[in-house]
Structure 1
Amino acid sequence: MTALAVAGLAALSAALFVRQHAGRRHHVASTASTSLAVDLVRRLRGRLTTRRSQYRRRETARDAVAAMAAELSAGHSATRALERAFARDDLAPRSRAAIAWGGDVVEALRADARMPGCGLLLAVSACWSVAHGTGAGLAESLRRAVSADREDDEVRTQLAAHLAAPRATARMLAGLPVLGLILGIAMGGDPLAWLLGTPLGFGCLTCGIGLTLLGLLWTSRIAARVEALL
């Protein structure tokens, strides 16, 4: 996401500079740069929205499973407990449909678990299968699954806090060239004219942005691999 933000800002800055300092012959290039910047920013916002939505759905799924365990403890059947616990949110549509039409609830739970943020339902399907196959208590198994999922979230939070420092360092290093441009302008120079107005300057600008994005992508993938281990 950081790489998309840097690319979007770079493209937008180039477009604004060309619009202000160039003639009509550069209008097409300026329009293309602006379109690229807008597209990158939209993709960035889309990814941020998706991640937040998955986090909220994961919390909602955890609360629903905890509610299902409470319904079971109150004496309701497994099917009734699932229907009541998941009735308020669209978390397990296939499972509720399987109950309504007499389908395979375990397979339906596994299918619902593939929805973003609903991975806990895979544990629910396993608990359901074991409980119906052996007669083991389903409520206690669900409570343990909720507790384990909550502990996993705490570990993810701690890991995100530890990874915040290297990510912030990478973003700071990516922003240093911009500070260099500002310093050059403050000293009376015109680095943007050279970067955007000459083939050599434009080549340096392109290589610089490319290497910056490569570094940000590398850092992001290292962090993502660590997070994927959980």
Structure 2
Amino acid sequence: MTAALLLVATAALLWPGGTALRRRRLRRLTRGRRSASRAAVPPPAWPALAGAAAAAGGALLSTPLVAALAGAAAAAAVRAVLRQREGRRDEERLDALADALAALAAELRSGRPLEAATTSAVAVCADDASGAALARALRVPGTAAAGPGTDLDRALARVAAAVRLSAHTGCSLAAVVGAVEDDLRARRRQRLELRSATAGPRASAALLAGLPLLGLAMGSGIGADPWAVLTTTPAGQVLLVLGVALEAAGLTWSARLVRRALR
């Protein structure tokens, strides 16, 4: 099976059509099996599945209260991971769009017509969805929605406006495309700098979030058995619910502060 996959990848690389098309074919081959396996369970259902699994494990190992808290915590954790992954995918789409705009500007400056330059730019785009959206903005600029939206939507709206302006006045489209590319790359550098600046506070928040677990472990190590107190006594159950609520509130507030700093 591995040898067959290597032969198919080699054939895709050696197939005529240019380096950009070869990279695109290889990317589609490597992502095909992963996308097919992920399509079986849609991402919106993952928090519910994780919560149900954690609740079932908590019910088997401890009390119903622990099961409910474990299910809620697992669902919230998976939802946060999915949100983080979606943010990374958005950044990858912006990087792919910036590369495509750089290729488009170079093609236009060399004197190629817009249709041929669009085909070349879409071919070098590392994200198929971003490439298709760029093609629509260039070929049918009236479909690009203006106004508030994601960074990708705003960039495509600027490109579509530049196409309409160039068609009406004859101004250079390459200069505006290059300016949009420079803006995307500048925003990317700013996000990286802000992420580096907030790495310390994020690490501190994660460390503080793990201190209650460390306290439970230390109490169990000296023979105090705090877990039994928290799960079997009425006062301990009240304290457990309050502690989990405060923990969730602290993590949510810390994440919100970091998100506001990254904007």
Q: Same fold per TM (> 0.5)? A: yes
Q: Aligned AA for 1:121?
A: L
Q: 1:71 aligns with which of 97, 101, 107?
A: 107
Match of 1:59 in 2: 95
Distance 2:230 2:66 in 1: 15
SS of aligned partner of 1:110: coil
In the alignment, structure 1 residue 165 sits paired with structure 2 residue 200? yes
What is the match of residue 197 of structure 1? 232
Q: Aligned partners of 1:120, 1:95: CA distance in 2, in Å?
A: 9
Q: CA deviation at 1:132?
A: 2.2
The aligned residue for residue 60 of structure 2 is 19
Higher RCO structure, 1 or 2 (CA under 8 Å, sep 6+):
1
3-state secondary structure, aligned to 2:171: coil
Q: CA deviation at 1:223?
A: 2.0
Identity %: 31
The residue number in structure 1 matching 2:253 is 218
Q: Does 1:145 align with 2:186?
A: no
Kindly indicate whether the alpha-carbon contact (under 8 Å) linking 1:58 and 1:118 is maintained by their aligned counterparts in 2: no
Verify the 8 A CA contact 1:16 1:30 in the aligned structure 2: no
Of the three residues 47, 56, 79, the one matched with 2:83 is: 47
The unaligned stretches of length 5 or more in structure 1 are: none
Is the partner of 1:120 in helix, strand or coil? helix
Contact kept in structure 2, 1:156 and 1:227, CA below 8 Å: yes
Query: Are 1:70 and 1:139, in contact at CA under 8 Å, matched by a contact in 2?
Result: yes
Helix, strand or coil at the partner of 1:90: helix
TM-score, normalised to structure 1, is: 0.76
The runs of 5 or more residues in structure 2 that have no matched partner are 1-46
The alignment covers a number of residue pairs equal to: 210
For the aligned residue pairs, the C-alpha RMSD in angstroms reads: 3.2
Shift of 1:176: 1.1
In 2 relative to 1, CA 220–61 (structure 1 residues): closer, same or farther, beyond 3 Å? same
Which letter does structure 1 place at the counterpart of 2:109?
A: S
Partner of 1:90: 129
Distance 1:110 1:136, change over 3 A: same
Q: Distance in 1 between matches of 2:58 and 2:130?
A: 48
Deviates further, 176-185 or 126-135: 126-135
Say if 1:61 and 1:118, in contact at 8 Å, map to a contact too. Answer: no
Residue number in structure 2 paired with 1:175: 210
Moved more, 133-142 or 152-161: 133-142
Distance 1:48 1:95, change over 3 A: closer
Displacement of 1:95: 6.1
